[in-house]
């Protein structure tokens, strides 16, 4: 009986490859691993995903999207469009990334100015010393009257250790943060010795960099659309309406 079983095994193995114990084929290497060596330090495998084009990967850093060929020869910095729908596929990815990044911050770490029944919510990366940030804030009553809820996140353009950074921390450490921000944006003197820990300034600044903020005010809508710079309240409302219609 044993000889018969052995004979059957030999016949099967002659027709099909038989694996020997301990000689299983190793899993194939992830082709993205070699590409990581070409990308900035800290890049991860999950930052590279197949794009709609065969042989090209999407490369994501925060809300910045670019493309890399599978052979590592070419890096593409630009937008990818669907020619049938005319949709900007790259911008769609950016909007989703912006929403995810902003939603990672609880509203308890933002400064919020809201009407009773808001129709729109915007997140504004702001610098206490930015002239156009101050102008936007001076029109807060009008923004709220138009149904726009404003959530502020700190983005001191001059970076860590600067006076604007310190002012942002002082505003956060004040008993009434909204009032302190309003006073600071009006040019009032702040108690620069007011210190508390921790503050969200560093986290929000780095998040702004990940989103691609280069200047202030930088406005992000609920759907992740990006508005670079100041707009008059009525113009901003019209832009928000346009974004809303475009999403339908």
Q: 61: phi > 0 → left, psi -120 to 50 → alpha, else beta; which?
A: beta
Q: Is 188 exposed, middle or buried (0-12, 13-18, 19+ CB in 10 A)?
A: exposed
18 tagged catalytic? no
Fold for 106-246, please state it: Glutaredoxin (3.40.30)
pLDDT at 8: 41
Which entry of 130, 134, 149, 225 is annotated as an active-site residue?
130
Which entry of 94, 134, 151, 157 is annotated as an active-site residue?
157
Asked if 137 contacts 130 with a C-beta cutoff of 8 angstroms, the reply is no
196 tagged catalytic? no
Phi, psi of 129 (to 5 degrees): -95, 0
In which residue ranges of the chain is pLDDT below 70? 1-26
In the chain, which residues fall in CATH 3.10.450?
32-89
Indicate the class that CATH gives domain 32-89: alpha beta
pLDDT at 99: 97
Cα 224 from Cα 243, distance rounded (Å): 10
DSSP label at residue 45: G
> DSSP 3-state assignment of 34?
helix
127 tagged catalytic? yes
pLDDT at 29: 79
Nearest CA to 132 out of 223, 19, 243, 230 is that of 230
Asked if 156 contacts 209 with a C-beta cutoff of 8 angstroms, the reply is no
Which entry of 47, 94, 133, 151 is annotated as an active-site residue?
133
pLDDT at 10: 42
Tell me, yes or no, if the pTM score tops 0.95.
no
In the chain, which residues fall in CATH 3.40.30.10?
106-246
Percent of the chain that is helix, strand, coil (3-state, to 5): 40, 15, 45
Nearest CA to 146 out of 245, 219, 235 is that of 235
130 tagged catalytic? yes
Report, in angstroms and rounded to the nearest whole number, the Rg of the chain calculated over CA atoms: 27
> DSSP 3-state assignment of 235?
helix
- Partnered with residue 112 across adjacent β-strands are 151
> Half-sphere exposure of 69 toward its Cβ, with a 13 Å CA cutoff?
6
The token pair at 174 is 């004040």
Each residue of 163-174: b (16+ CB within 10 Å) or e?
A: ebbbbbbbbbbb
Which entry of 47, 127, 129, 225 is annotated as an active-site residue?
127
């Amino acid at each position: 009986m044993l000889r018969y079983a052995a004979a059957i095994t030999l016949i099967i193995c002659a027709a099909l490859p038989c694996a020997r114990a301990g000689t299983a084929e190793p899993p194939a290497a992830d082709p993205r691993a070699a590409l990581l060596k070409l990308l900035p330090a800290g890049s991860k495998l999950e930052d590279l995903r197949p794009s709609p084009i065969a042989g090209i990967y999407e490369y994501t850093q925060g809300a910045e999207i670019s493309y890399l060929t599978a052979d590592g020869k070419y890096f593409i910095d630009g937008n990818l469009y669907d020619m049938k729908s005319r949709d900007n596929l790259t911008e769609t990815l950016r909007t989703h990334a912006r929403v995810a990044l902003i939603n990672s911050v609880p509203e308890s770490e933002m400064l919020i100015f809201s009407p009773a029944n808001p129709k729109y919510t915007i997140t504004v990366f702001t610098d206490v010393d930015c002239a156009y940030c101050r102008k936007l804030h001076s029109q807060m009553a009008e923004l709220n009257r138009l149904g726009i809820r404003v959530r502020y996140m700190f983005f001191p353009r001059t970076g860590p250790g600067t006076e604007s950074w310190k002012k942002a921390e002082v505003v956060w450490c004040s008993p009434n943060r909204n009032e302190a921000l309003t006073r600071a944006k009006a040019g009032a003197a702040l108690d620069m010795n007011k210190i508390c820990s921790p503050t969200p300034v560093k986290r929000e600044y780095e998040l702004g960099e990940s989103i691609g903020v280069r200047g202030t005010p930088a406005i992000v809508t609920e759907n992740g659309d990006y508005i670079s710079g100041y707009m008059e309240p009525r113009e901003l409302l019209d832009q928000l309406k346009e974004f809303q219609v475009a999403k339908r």
